[in-house]
Every structure is written in C-alpha cells, then in structure tokens.
Amino acid sequence: MSATSTTILNLPDQSTATIPKKNYITAEHGLLSWLLTGDHKRIAMLYLISITVFFFIGGAFAGLIRLELLTPQPDLVASDTYNKLFTMHGVIMVFLFLVPSVPATIGNFLIPIMVGARDLAFPKINLLSWYLYVVGGILVLSALVLGGVDTGWTFTTPLSTHYLNTHVLTTATAIFVAGFSSIFTGLNFIVTIHRMRCPGMTWFRMPLFVWAHYAASILMVLGTPVLAISLVLVALERVFGIGVFDPAKGGDPLLFQHLFWFYSHPAVYIMILPGMGVISEVVSTFSRKRVFGYTAVAFSSVAIALFGFFVWAHHMFIMGISNYSALVFSLLTMLVAVPSAIKIFNWSFTLQKGSITFETPMLYAFGFMGLFTIGGLTGVFLGSLGMDIQLTETYFIVAHFHFVMVGGMLMAFLSGVHFWWPKMTGRMYPESLSKLAAVVTFIGFNLTFMPQFILGYLGMPRRYHAYPPEFQVLNVLSTAGATVLGVGYMLPILYLAWSLKYGEIAGDNPWQATGLEWQIQSPPLTENFTEIPIMDHEAYDYEWLEHKTQHEVTHVG
C-alpha cells in the first residue's frame, strides 16, 4: 500500500487467492451438520440468519405503523390491529432482535477466538440456546398468526392480566423461553471469558469487545430471571384470575412494574453494551491506534453493568412511586449516564494522531457515535424528574430509545457485520455500495426520528392510532424518513448475499487489524487455531502487527 492511499483494505491477489479448502463451513455438509453443530461459528451463523428474519418481520410492522400515522385519521387499519402492530413490533425487535443481535451472532462467533479458545465453554448449551430462541420465535409467530397480542411489549398490568383477551399467554411463554436463550448465551460467555483465555491473555490484554460482552453477560444472567418470574406471575394471574397485580383484589399493579423494569432496564444495557464493544474494535482498527484510555473504556462497561441494576424505577416516575424514591432513582440515573459519556469521548480521542481511513464499518461507527450521543443526552432529559413529566409516554421517549437502539445498536451491529464479514465468509462485500447504504441509513434514520423529538415535546402520546391534525406534518416527515431507512436496510441484505458468491477473496487480515481473530485464516477452521496461541502483547498493538512477519502469533514460544 502506498502511504497516500485512502484505504487500509489489503486484499490478496485475486487471480491466485482462494478460500481455504478446510474451514468451519466446509468441515461438514448437509443441513443436519448445521442443526446439530457444536461449533460456535456455525451457531453464530444460524443466529445471524434467524435474527435477520425477525428483524425484517419487525421492520415490516414498523413500516405499517408509520404508514398508518401518515394521516391523522385512523384510516389504514383498525385500532385493535394498530395496537397489535406496535406490540408485535416491540416484542419482536426487543426480545428477538436487539437482545441477541450482537452477542449471539458476532459475539458468539468472536468471543472464543478473541480469547484464544477453540470454542465456547459449553457448545451444547450454546446450541440449546439457539433452539430456545427459535422456539420463542415460533411461539411469537404463532401468537401473531392466531390473531396477535395487544398488550404493548411492556405487558402493563392490570391491562394485560384482566382486560385483554388476545394471546398474552403465548407471547409471555415465548418471551420466557427466549429469555432462557439469552441467559445461556450470557452464562457461556462469562465462563468462557473466565476459564478459556489462552496463555498470556490477561484481563487487560483482552479486546474491549470481550469486556463489553462480559458486562452484558452479567446483566443477562442476573436480570433475565426476574423478567421470567414476572411473566410467570402474569400468566398465573390470567389463568386463575387472582389479583397479585390487581388493586381490586388487593394487589399492587406497581409491583409488576418494579419486577418488569428490574430486567427491562438492564436489558437496555444488554442491548447497547455489545454494540459499544464493536465500536471500540472498529474505531481502533481504522485509526490504526490503540483505543484511547483502554482501562477507562473497559471499566466504564463494567460500571454501566453495575449501575444498570440501580435505576429501573426511572420508568415509573409518574406512575405513582413515592416521590422520595423517584429522587433516588433519578440521581442514580444521572450517574449511569457518565460512563457512556466517557466512552464517547475516548472513542473520539482514539482518532487523535491516528491514521484514519473511512471504510464502511468506520462510517457506521461514526454514525453510532453521533446518534448515540444524541440518544444518551436525550436520556438525561428523561432522567431529570420534572422534564420526565412532560416527555414520558410521548413520542420524545420513542425517539430517544430509537436513537439508542436503532441509531446506536443497529448502527453498531451493521458496522460489526461489515467489519467481520470477510472473516466470517472469507469474501469482501462491494465497498462503494455498502458506503452508500451506510449514508442512506444515516439520513433516513435522522429524518425518521428527529421529528419525533419535536412531536414528543408538543405532547403527541406514543401508541396513538389517530392524532390531532396539527401533528401531521412532522408525522409525514417521519414516515418519509422511514421509507428511506427501509431502503438503507434492504441494501446490505442484497449485496451481502451477493458477496457470498461473487465477493472478492478477503484473505486472512483485510483490515490489517491486530485482534487474534485476524491472525487466523478466514473463514476460520472449526477448531479456530491449529495450536493454542500465546498472547504476548497488548490489545491493539499495531507495532506488534508490523513485526508480525518475524513472529507468528499462533506460534507456541
């Protein structure tokens, strides 16, 4: 590469290069070899396919919702249908896409390789977790086919327990099962990270991607069971008609809120932390620099996980919790915002004195940094008690968590998919097209959700099927943006699929990256490493990469 070139992309000579004959894809053949595999990479692929399917189902619902909101009148669908649409959109996107998105796919693929292990600690449990996910997914779809459910993804009691006759039980069961899938993923990661690190892979030599997943896994393991039990209680209350959550029978509906949000707030960090891990890898690689303040970033992940357990009641500020307890939760909420700020600034300063190039993953990463900053700071609006009164339950909060989840998490997910695509498949995606997709996504996203902030402060409530006419203009803008966004999401599917067959051969390390995963062939062998590597350098050590020609990483000293 000449010094002045604007890319670090370094592909082998296409005329001679080939995909290694022996790799995890070619190791075995036939559908069964995939359905019964213990290989974390194959399971990651299974996950990647299934979550993509559910992403597009959920996306379709979102499209219908935006279409309905094009006009103030309830004209496209009936109000019941509309309620089912946003419920299904929420349930599918949260439990079947966002929670497993990065951990179960990219994380599943990379965690063992990054810590220098041959597989996750419990391959069978890993496979089991995929099957649980599928069962959960099928249950959700069956609820959908049987007529849907309209509780909203938050299952607010007593509405969900005593006032609706849709398929609440099926959906609750689905989420219960899918929950255990994520518990097992988290459990597997924690054990792998503690127990399976290769010689020399000390905690502070681990890639930040691994740190982020470690933090997220803790949340998965400790949080999800509480969601499980609260859903069990909802189910029992529906079946036996008892009133643990029904004030008419002496129960307290807020108890459900407490139990539900005890999981569902940490769940937000389960969703975003792995994305942050991706960003650390990408930003470092494309600025050829070690992440600025590695330790701070690592610890901020853990801090987020820890604080994440202390703030759940900020979802209930106006729901009648005691004012004093609201005070406490608001304060803690402000504290949890700080580690995210630290991360953002550390990533920005990673660029300083770097040698920056702008391939697709980096573009998505920039998108993440911008949109996540907005998402995070608008979170402070909602954490600030008085402001929350005006903004909660309006489109402001919808915009806020879409900035974090879609603008943050989805950008990170796409960034990661593009970044590691050559490693997963051995082939490159078409660079120019993917850059276009990144830009389109960014524009479409902002057009969709920026107007919703304004709508929110104007007071347009969320989950409204019809709205006063003065809100129409902003809704039209939002719908227009959603259309662009849809195109932005369609493109990757198409060209990534295309690249599977026609993409250029990527070679082992197209990005000149330092991670262990880049020092092995792509696609990797089933056992990842011919010999267990010895980690003899810091993470993101680019000088080491320079001298790697003399010293092979996988060489046992």
Partner 1 sequence: MADEATHEQHFHDPPNVTNPEHAEHHIVTPLQYGYVYITLLIGTLLTVLAADVDMGIFNPIVALAIACTKAVIVILFFMHVKYQSNLIKMTVGAGFFTFLVLITMTLSDYISRAWGLW
Partner 2 sequence: MDNAIAPTEPLMPHETAVHEHEEHEHVFVPQHRHHFETEEQQREAGSFGMWLFLLTEIMFFGGLFFAYLLYRNWYYDAFVAASNQLNVSLGGANTAILITSGFFMALGVWAAEMRKRTLLVWMLVLTTLFGVAFLGIKYVEYKEKWEKHHIPGASFDISEFVNPPIDAKTGKPSQNPLPVDAAQKTQIFFFLYFAMTGMHALHMIIGIGLLFWLIGRSQRGDFSAGYVAPIENFGLYWHFVDIVWLFLFPLLYLINRHPLAH
Partner 3 sequence: MGISPVLWQFLMKWLNASALFPREASTIAPQMDALYFFLLGMTVVGVVLVVVIVAVFSMRYRKSVHPVATQIEGSTLLEATWTIIPLGLFLVCFVWGALLYFRIYNPPVNSMNIYIVGKQWMWKAEHPGGQHEINMLHVPMGQPIQLTMISQDVFHSYSIPDFRIKREVIPGRYSTVWFEATTPGTYHIFCTQYCGTNHSQMIGEVTVLSPEDYKKWTEESTSGMSLAQNGERLFASMGCNACHSGNAAARGPSLAGVFGSQLQLANGSRVQVNEAYLRDAILNPSQHITAGYSPIMPTYQGQISEDGLIDIVEYLKTLNTNYRVQQTLTTSESDQAAPPATGGANQ
Contacting residues toward partner 1, per CB under 8 A: 194-195, 197-203, 218, 222, 226, 254, 258, 262, 309-310, 312-313, 321-325, 328-329
For the CB of residue 374, give the shortest distance to partner 3 in the complex, in Å: 6
Residue type (1 letter), 4: T
Decide if residue 325 touches partner 3 (CB under 8 A): no
Show the DSSP H helices in 31-152 as ranges. Answer: 31-35, 40-68, 79-91, 101-102, 108-114, 123-145
Q: Residue 144 or 336: which CB sits closer to partner 3?
A: 336
309 binds, among partner 3, partner 1, partner 2, none (CB under 5 to 8 A by kind): partner 1
Residue type (1 letter), 282: V
Distance separating alpha carbons of residues 521 and 18, to the nearest angstrom: 11
For the CB of residue 282, give the shortest distance to partner 3 in the complex, in Å: 13
User: How far out from the chain centre does Cα 439 lie?
Assistant: 20
- Give, as ranges, the residues between 434 and 463 that touch partner 3 (CB under 8 A): 454, 457-459, 461-463
For the CB of residue 222, give the shortest distance to partner 1 in the complex, in Å: 5
Which span (78-86, 441-449, 498-506, 514-522) binds partner 3, by CB under 8 A? 78-86
For the CB of residue 542, give the shortest distance to partner 3 in the complex, in Å: 7
Closest CA to 355 of 521, 545, 208: 545
**How many residues appear in the chain?**
557
Decide if residue 259 touches partner 3 (CB under 8 A): no
Which span (234-242, 420-428, 434-442, 468-476) binds partner 3, by CB under 8 A? 468-476
Decide if residue 11 touches partner 3 (CB under 8 A): no
Q: Is residue 169 within 8 Å of 85, Cβ to Cβ? A: no
Please list, residue by residue across 360-385, b when 16 or more beta carbons sit within 10 angstroms of its beta carbon and e when fewer do: bbbbbbbbbbbbbbbbbebbebbbbb
For the CB of residue 273, give the shortest distance to partner 2 in the complex, in Å: 18
233 binds, among partner 3, partner 1, partner 2, none (CB under 5 to 8 A by kind): partner 2
147 binds, among partner 2, partner 1, partner 3, none (CB under 5 to 8 A by kind): none
Residue ranges in contact with partner 2 by CB under 8 A: 112, 117-123, 125, 183, 187-188, 190-191, 194-196, 221-226, 228-230, 232-233, 236, 240-244, 249-252, 255, 258-259, 262, 527, 530, 532
Q: Residue 264, class by beta-carbon neighbours within 10 Å (0-12 exposed, 13-18 middle, 19+ buried)? A: buried
Q: Residue 490, class by beta-carbon neighbours within 10 Å (0-12 exposed, 13-18 middle, 19+ buried)? A: middle
Token pair 């389960």 in the structure block, residue: 270
For the CB of residue 321, give the shortest distance to partner 2 in the complex, in Å: 13
- Give, as ranges, the residues between 194 and 233 that touch partner 3 (CB under 8 A): none
Q: Is residue 521 within 8 Å of 20, Cβ to Cβ? A: yes
Structure tokens at 154: 């938050």
Closest CA to 435 of 421, 449, 415: 415
For the CB of residue 313, give the shortest distance to partner 1 in the complex, in Å: 6
Q: Reduce the DSSP state of residue 461 to 3 states and report it.
A: strand
Residues in the interface with partner 3 (CB under 8 A) total 99
Decide if residue 369 touches partner 3 (CB under 8 A): yes
Q: Residue 120 or 127: which CB sits closer to partner 2?
A: 120
DSSP state of 394: B
- Backbone dihedral region for residue 116 (phi beyond 0: left; psi -120 to 50: alpha; all else: beta): left
Show the DSSP H helices in 115-252 as ranges. Answer: 123-145, 159-162, 168-195, 208-240
For the CB of residue 222, give the shortest distance to partner 2 in the complex, in Å: 6
101 binds, among partner 3, partner 1, partner 2, none (CB under 5 to 8 A by kind): none
224 binds, among partner 3, partner 1, partner 2, none (CB under 5 to 8 A by kind): partner 2
Main-chain dihedrals φ then ψ at residue 279, nearest 5 degrees: -60, -45
Residue type (1 letter), 471: F
Decide if residue 552 touches partner 3 (CB under 8 A): no
